[in-house]
Copies of this chain bind each other. A is one copy, B any other.
Amino acid sequence: MKKPHFKKIVIAGIGLMGGSLGLAIKKARIADTVVGLARRQQTLRQAGNKHCIDQGTLSIAQAVVGADLVVLAGPVRTTPDLLQAMLPYLTFGCLITDVGSTKAELLNTIYHQLDRFQKKRRKTDKKPVFIGSHPMAGSEKAGVLASRVDLYQGALCMLIKTPKTPVAALNRLQGFWKAVGCRKVKVVTAQKHDQWAAMASHLPHVVASGLVNQLIDRSRQDNRILEVAATGFRDTTRVAAGSPSMWLDILQTNRKEIGRAIDQLQRKLDKMKKLILRRQGAALLRELEQASEFRIRMENSKRGR
């Protein structure tokens, strides 16, 4: 796949994701200019000092005029308002994407915004194209100061396709994510994305938070239990340290699928509990063996890739 080229890429929201994206775009030399849009001058200064962007601005109009790619990289809950404010200034045919961890609810809002906006325009005007992205990269750290040129290196990126998504734009966006380091770009529906993310990422966060809060409850009766929480507990709950406000957005914008994933885990726990309490050793061993074999294979395939 040929590397795409852009005249002006706008990164709207310059935290860990946006800052790292700027570094990777500049390294890949796929844009004439990288413009950072932020709400605070300090962020622009920090992004400039880290060479994440070529130019910075606090003005939405100034940022997006003439851009051929806009990446919405701020918090999910602010994304629709930011997009709404951009619409009047976007160059026709501009490609817009985001980096959020949940898709169906957000994209639904965004598609409606674009449709409403389009109705006010002349039919012949070329509509800006929005395609949702979810590059599965991140860290427990946040903010532009934590940004790294290799954040997207080797990551999986999911792109959301609808029946209306123009193929040329989709290909161009695929090329973009490959160029900034993603190992693989997968095209899926928003629903599939949210189902998979619920089970593979959001549920583990809910569980890790639950385990930590359960330990806190118990430690109120006797805090000696805290010393007993060793490596296994630390590994299992590591993700719970992640940004509460970011995770609130995620949990609140993928409610239905996360609810289902919790239900399924509850049934698994019921089953394990029954096998334990009813001394069904052979069946319990099978559960443990299946999980162990799979988990060892998972570790090996990660090392091998």
B269 and A207 within 8 A (CB)? yes
By a CB distance below 8 angstroms, the chain B residues around A201 are: 228-230, 232-233
In the complex, the chain B residue whose C-beta lies closest to that of A302 is B234
A194-253: which residues lie under 8 A (CB-CB) from chain B? 195-197, 199-201, 203-218, 222, 224-230, 232-245, 247-248, 251-252
**CB of A219, distance to nearest CB on chain B (Å):** 9
In the complex, the chain B residue whose C-beta lies closest to that of A210 is B268
By a CB distance below 8 angstroms, the chain B residues around A247 are: 288
B209 and A288 within 8 A (CB)? yes
By a CB distance below 8 angstroms, the chain B residues around A184 are: 227
* A295 contacts partner chain B, Cβ-Cβ < 8 Å: yes
State which of B204, B234, B248, B288 has its C-beta within 8 Å of the C-beta of A285.
B248
A232 and B204 within 8 A (CB)? yes
A280-300 toward B: CB 8 Å interface, digit per residue (1/0)? 010011011111101110110
B269 and A206 within 8 A (CB)? yes
Tell me the dominant secondary structure on chain A's binding face.
Answer: helix
Give the interface size class of chain A: 35 or more
Number of chain copies forming the complex? 2
Could you name 17 residue pairs across A and B whose Cβ atoms are closer than 8 Å?
A196-B224, A196-B228, A201-B232, A208-B236, A208-B295, A235-B236, A236-B237, A237-B295, A240-B291, A242-B292, A247-B288, A248-B281, A251-B284, A255-B277, A259-B277, A262-B273, A263-B273
Q: Taking beta carbons and an 8 Å cutoff, which residues of A are in contact with B? A: 136, 156, 158, 184, 186, 188, 192, 195-197, 199-201, 203-218, 222, 224-230, 232-245, 247-248, 251-252, 255, 258-259, 261-266, 268-270, 272-273, 276-277, 279, 281, 284-285, 287-292, 294-296, 298-299, 302
